[in-house]
Amino acid sequence: MPELPEVETVRKGLEQAMIGRTLTEVILRRENLRFPFPEDFASRVIGSKIDSIRRRAKYLLIDLDDGQVILSHLGMSGRYTLFDAEKVNQFETNGDIDRSSRFGSATGFDGRHDHVEFRFDDGSTAVYTDPRRFGIMDLIDVGEETIHPLLESLGPEPFGDWNSKQLAQRLFKKTTSIKVALLDQRVVVGVGNIYACEALHRSGIHPQRQSKTLVRKDGKPTKKLDLLVDNVVQVLEKAVEAGGSSLNDFADVNGSLGYFGHQFQAYDREDQPCLKAGCGGTIERITQSGRSTFLCPRCQR
């Protein structure tokens, strides 16, 4: 589920529910996701209050009032689900909680993948569910964001001061395909497979085109590259407004489905007509670096 718009949607949801609350209990139902949970994770965060929740690339940064920061990545299948005190009571059981959570299918599965439970002083709870366990959860100190191994080589935020001049510098003389470059989090962060396909389609750029062909000999961006940057930003903005996409029922923390999927022009539309006005082409699927790419060979050059 998670590219920038989905992570941003989750961030907003967690912000509403968590800020100002103090952690009273943290339940871990296994010792690792992609990596082991940090040593004494639960005891180190219990008693701290949530000050703010930030996003960097596809990572969530949960700031605690003691200077610690919970670093969370949703991987491919991670999600958070919030339960207010009343709902927690509804699900309350006397059974002990070991492998499965009592929230069960309320988190989208059977409870076996509810790996972390954060309980707050007002009786509410946030459950982290991640069937594939490609996600990560770590605990760092504020200020460590820039030196953490997972964060240190991240590129610019698309909603920051990112621009085509900067991108042109990064792609100058690069022979790698433009689509693979967009997925490279050192080039720009937050763009994943869906929004890379969408931005390239809207820009009329073939995903296999060599990156350097979008940069002028003098290192300045071409018009096409200007257009691509505009479209990356726009497609991400629109998706944030829509609350993300709903592939595999991606839901925000309250279970509401994002509706950006209704606006897909290329992604997951193999063999369907290209929606660009007057194009008349048919969307194809190819593979690049092991990932599916959807494109219209007629209007994407």
Question: Known catalytic residue: 173?
Answer: no
Per-residue H/E/C for the chain: CCCHHHHHHHHHHHHHHHCCCEEEEEEECCCECCCECCCCHHHHHCCCEEEEEEEECCEEEEEECCCEEEEEECCCCCEEEEECHHHHHHHCCCCCCCCCCCCHHHHCCCCCCEEEEEEECCCCEEEEECCCCCCEEEEEECCHHHCCCCCCCCCCCCCCCCCHHHHHHHHCCCCCEHHHHHHCCCCCCCCCHHHHHHHHHHHCCCCCCEHHHHECCCCCECHHHHHHHHHHHHHHHHHHHCCCCCHHHCECCCCCECCHHHHCCCCCCCCCECCCCCCCCECEEEEECCEEEEECCCCCC
- Choosing from 3, 6, 8, 117, which is the catalytic residue? 3
Task: Examine residue 75 and tell whether it contacts DNA (CB under 7 A).
Answer: yes
Catalytic residue among 29, 209, 285, 291: 291
**Of these residues, 11, 58, 174, 179, which one is catalytic?**
58
Hey, which residues between 89 and 128 contact DNA (CB under 7 A)? 109-110, 112-113
Tell me how far, at minimum, the Cβ of 242 lies from DNA, in Å: 13
Per the CB < 8 A criterion, the answer to whether 243 and 9 are in contact is: yes
Site size for DNA, by CB under 7 A? 43
Instruction: Identify the residue among 55, 174, 206, 269 touching DNA (CB under 7 A).
Output: 174
Q: Which of 48, 163, 193, 234 binds DNA (CB under 7 A)?
A: 193
237 is catalytic: no
The correct pick among 37, 120, 250, 260 for binding DNA (CB under 7 A) is 250
223 binds DNA, rule: CB under 7 A? no
Mark whether 3 is an active-site residue. Answer: yes
The residue (of 28 and 247) whose beta carbon lies closer to DNA is 247
Q: Which span sits near DNA by CB under 7 A: 15-23, 47-55, 88-96, 178-186?
A: 178-186
Instruction: Output 222 or 288, the one with its CB closest to DNA.
Output: 288
Among residues 2, 5, 156, 207, the one annotated as catalytic is 2
- From 47-55, 81-89, 92-100, 285-293, span contacting DNA (CB under 7 A): 285-293
| Annotated catalytic residue 285 | no
150 forms part of the interface with DNA (CB under 7 A)? yes
Query: Could you say which of 95, 146, 173, 278 contacts DNA (CB under 7 A)?
Result: 173
Q: Which residues contact 269 (CB under 8 A, 6 or more apart)?
A: 283, 294
Place of tokens 């005891």: 43
Binding site for DNA (CB under 7 A): 1-3, 6, 34, 57-58, 73, 75-77, 109-110, 112-113, 131-134, 149-150, 173-177, 180, 183, 185, 192-194, 210, 245, 247-248, 250, 287-292
Residues with catalytic function: 2-3, 58, 291
